């Protein structure tokens, strides 16, 4: 009797251990899910194009930054901004260059914020990334892009190189306004508060070539 009771207890204990083990296995994420706990990415397929002289990056150096997905998930990593792909890339464990598989809505790099989700304008789409200057609804936006330009010598075309370009806009009242970073361009775009803005520009000696000054000007306009 005691022997059969002991066997029953051992049998029940074994079942409980098996169920616990199954529950643990079922609760563990699949390999792909485990990857997403860290930075989820895939290797990029194109870098160092030998046919084009120049770098595809805004800056060739890796910098610590944060990428935020459309779902609000934040990932800290060493980042670069690939201007050709118009995407942030991160350094893999073996120093490889990686792309995020999750859609990125915003990233910060060298204390600068880049964001998409703005209205389509010219040749750019809502997926286009802009450096954002200002914290309010009215922002100064800079989109960096590169064009392939022919390099010519006496004998004709000798190759291609990347040419750096910047497209500037104001996002105001939900609309994109093409603009040049100049006093006249700013005053025309912010004509509803022209007198106040002009006074602020003069008294604060705003330098339109400096991002920090443009950001301050946007925040001032937003406070009016």
Give the CA distances from residue 123 to residues 56, 82, 113, 146, 191, in Å, rounded to whole numbers and listed in that order.
Answer: 19, 18, 22, 14, 26
Note the pTM of the prediction, 2 decimals.
0.76
pLDDT at residue number 59? 92
Three-state DSSP at 187 gives: helix
CA distance 169 to 178: 4
Q: Is 143 exposed, middle or buried (0-12, 13-18, 19+ CB in 10 A)?
A: buried
Per-residue pLDDT of the chain (224 residues; tens, 9 = 90+): 544 544 444 444 444 443 433 333 233 232 232 222 234 566 555 455 556 777 889 999 999 999 999 999 999 999 999 999 999 999 887 777 888 989 999 999 999 999 999 999 999 999 999 999 999 999 999 999 998 887 777 766 677 788 899 999 999 999 999 999 999 999 999 999 999 999 999 999 999 999 999 999 999 999 98
pLDDT at residue number 101? 87
């Amino acid at each position: 009797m005691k022997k059969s009771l002991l066997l029953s207890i051992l049998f029940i204990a074994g079942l409980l251990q098996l169920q616990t083990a199954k529950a643990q296995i079922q609760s563990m994420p699949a390999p792909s899910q485990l990857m997403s706990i860290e930075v989820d990415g895939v290797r990029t397929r194109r870098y160092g194009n030998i046919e084009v002289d120049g770098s595809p990056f805004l800056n060739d150096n890796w910098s610590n930054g944060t990428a935020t997905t459309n779902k609000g998930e934040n990932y800290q990593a060493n980042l670069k901004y690939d201007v050709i792909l118009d995407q942030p890339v991160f350094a893999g464990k073996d120093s490889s260059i990686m792309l995020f598989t999750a859609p990125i809505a915003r990233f910060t790099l060298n204390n600068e914020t880049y964001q998409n989700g703005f209205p389509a304008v010219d040749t750019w789409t809502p997926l286009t990334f802009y450096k954002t200057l200002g914290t309010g609804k009215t922002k100064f936006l800079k989109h960096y892009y590169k064009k392939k330009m022919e390099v010519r010598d006496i004998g004709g075309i000798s190759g291609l190189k990347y040419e750096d370009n910047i497209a500037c806009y104001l996002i105001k009242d939900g609309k994109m306004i093409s603009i040049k970073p100049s006093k006249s361009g700013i005053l025309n775009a912010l004509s509803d508060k022209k007198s106040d803005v002009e006074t602020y520009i003069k008294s604060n000696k705003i330098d339109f070539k400096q991002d920090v000054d443009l950001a301050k000007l946007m925040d001032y306009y937003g406070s009016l």
